[in-house]
Structure 1
Amino acid sequence: MFQPYTWNHVFFMLGGLGTTIWLAAIALVGGSIAGSILALVRVAHNPLLRNAARLYIFVVQGTPLLVTLFIAYFGARWIGIDVAPVVAIAVAFSFYAAAFLGEIWRGAIESVPHGQREGSHALGLSYADAMRFIIVPQAIRIATPPTVGFFVQLIKNTSLASVVGIVELTRTSQIVSNATFKPLDVYLTAATFYFVVCFPLTLLSRYLERRLGTQTK
């Protein structure tokens, strides 16, 4: 017998939204750490390191995210690592985010005018000091808007975690829909939750693009 669609179901879905945001935030943090390393390696002088980073990015970006999640979900136990499924999925999202953030930040670094590098060398700064004090601070301004925009995509992509049983917003919506037989009401609610979270971030990304773009000219 089907249940009526009540506020209890809405609160249950809000709990799923919390997991969605948690997954996206973990992926952003983990992806930022690995992505910053990838970006620096991509602009390094060592061709072996550059090609290794390029290969990683090519493989991850060329593999459907859902396949990556399946590999992480089933692969951890296959190689004997006993971790909670949600942890394996969070790690998979982090590796996925790293590939895209690495390219975003690599492009930001390379978009800093070449004269800035020449000026740093003229001042006698080493490559590391030039990157730390001159290039990277300017690149951060350039990379911030697309990074916020990518976070929006990351939040929406966490819906794929429902396929492997992670109880995030989409999965809770499926559960409530099956219990109440009110799919339109349930998924409209889920869409509203996604919109409430993502739309302000989209506006923030556009605002930062205009504001920081003006400041860097």
Structure 2
Amino acid sequence: MGWPEFLFLLEGMKWTIALSAIGFIGGGVVGLAVALARTSGRPMLERATAAYVSVFQGTPLLMQLFVVYFGLVLVGLDLAPWEAVALGFTLHASAYLGDIWRGGIEAVPRGQMEAARALSLGYVSRMRDVILPQALRVSLPATIGFLVQLIKGTSLASIVGFTELARAGNMVSNQIFKPLLVFGIVGAMYFALCWPLSLYGSWMERRLAAPTR
């Protein structure tokens, strides 16, 4: 296990971080739309987005990546591995973040919405200035917890040949025949990414809960 092998693992770690960021940001944009649709009060829209969430929460992430990469080819969309996993993680994250934020919106006392309506605030202003800031406060710890799961889930991207940290570790292990050493280092790298986020999520949960005690 020399310096070139370690640099190769760092390169894989870089792509793990990039994939996690794309999935989280893209999933956050779509997830916000899902959350707003699920709390819109329009039955058809709520049922459609509930079905969307159920599909992605009820099927394995590995299968979702497989379907995105190999299934879209059947309809004429030949995506590169990078594009396929980015799309797959965005869709996966949007379902979970949409559900988390839907719960946060519904946790805001109903009186807040009624007071905003009494002030003649439009829908956009009600959500942006009154409801969503409070919903974010409630759902932030769960959002950070999901980000940790998303980072670890990037290890499944190797199914379509995408080289992230776990696949880089496997490639190095096959070259130097020291799997315990290599995957011990890979595990330490995942830990270095996830543990600070877990600590931050726990700290935020305690901080946000303190004023309500």
Give TM-score, length-normalised by structure 2. Answer: 0.96
Alignment partners' CA distance in 2, 1:13 and 1:84: 22
Alignment partners' CA distance in 1, 2:111 and 2:101: 19
Alignment partners' CA distance in 1, 2:212 and 2:84: 39
Aligned 8 A contact 2:37 2:46 in 1:
yes
Q: How does 1:1-217 map to 2 (within 5 A)?
A: 5-215=1-211
Aligned 8 A contact 1:173 1:190 in 2:
yes
Measured after TM superposition, the shift of residue 72 of structure 1 is 0.9
SS in 2 for 1:212: helix
Alignment partners' CA distance in 2, 1:85 and 1:79: 17
Alignment partners' CA distance in 2, 1:209 and 1:172: 34
Aligned 8 A contact 1:76 1:88 in 2:
no
Number of residue-to-residue matches in the alignment: 213
Task: Kindly report structure 1 stretches of 4+ aligned residues shifted beyond 4 Å.
Answer: none
- For structure 2, the 5+ residue unaligned runs are none
Aligned 8 A contact 2:32 2:98 in 1:
yes
Amino acid at match of 1:128: V
Measured after TM superposition, the shift of residue 85 of structure 1 is 1.3
Give TM-score, length-normalised by structure 1. Answer: 0.94
| Cα distance per residue 1:155-198 (max 9 Å; x no partner) | 00000111221100000111011111100000000000000110
Measured after TM superposition, the shift of residue 148 of structure 1 is 1.2
Amino acid at match of 1:71: V
Alignment partners' CA distance in 1, 2:74 and 2:159: 19
Aligned 8 A contact 2:35 2:98 in 1:
yes
Amino acid at match of 2:11: G
Alignment partners' CA distance in 1, 2:142 and 2:190: 19
Measured after TM superposition, the shift of residue 216 of structure 1 is 6.1
Measured after TM superposition, the shift of residue 215 of structure 1 is 4.2
Aligned 8 A contact 2:113 2:131 in 1:
yes
Q: CA RMSD in A?
A: 1.3
- For structure 1, the 5+ residue unaligned runs are none
Alignment partners' CA distance in 1, 2:31 and 2:209: 22
